[in-house]
Amino acid sequence: MWASVADTLRTTVLPHVTDPEARTAAIQLIGMAIYAGRRGNNPQRRRLDELSMALGASAGQDVLRSCSAVLGDPYHRVHGRIREILESQLDEDVENEVVLLKALGGQLPNG
């Protein structure tokens, strides 16, 4: 479905859009459609489970609060592991969102 949105905007709509602002918005929408088609399920639950498992006994009711506490203590036994997981999750977002950044910069994204 999202592939159809992106393709139609690219091949049918965009060639007829001459107003610069409308063109910019159309390119951003193409980027969003490609991103939406690729991103899969919301990763939040999986990510929290991964962090909770790494925290072990240090996991409180609010997993992210527990992670903040661990990051604030450089001597905590899972400090390095939690940081590694959080950075890996951030990198996953950054990688998936490259298409959005390109579109924001006015580049017509591939895909």
Partner 1 sequence: MDEHRLAEFFSSQSGEPVEVRSIRRRNSGPSRDTYLVDSSVGDLVVRAAIEGPGAMWIIEELELMRSLSDAGVPVATVRWSDPRGDVFGLPFFVEDRLDVAAVDDDPGSDAAATFVQRLSQLHKLKPEAHLPAADSAQATATQIERWRSVGKSTGGSRVPLLDAAEMWLHKHMPLTKRASVVHGHPDLRSNLVSSSGAVVLTDWQHAHVGDAVEDWSYLANHDDGLARSREWRALAERETGTRFSADEWSFWQAFNLFKTACINRTYLGQFESGTNRSPELLIAGTATYHSALRRLIDIVQRG
Among 43, 58, 97, 111, binds partner 1 (CB under 8 A): 97
Residue 20 CB, nearest approach to partner 1 (Å): 11
Residue 100 CB, nearest approach to partner 1 (Å): 4
Residue 100's alpha-carbon distances to 34, 69, 89, 103, in angstroms, are: 9, 32, 18, 5
**64 near partner 1, judged by CB under 8 A:** yes
Which residues sit at the interface with partner 1, rule CB under 8 A?
21, 24-25, 28-29, 31-32, 44, 62, 64-65, 67-68, 70-72, 82-83, 86-87, 90-91, 93-94, 97-98, 100-101, 103-104
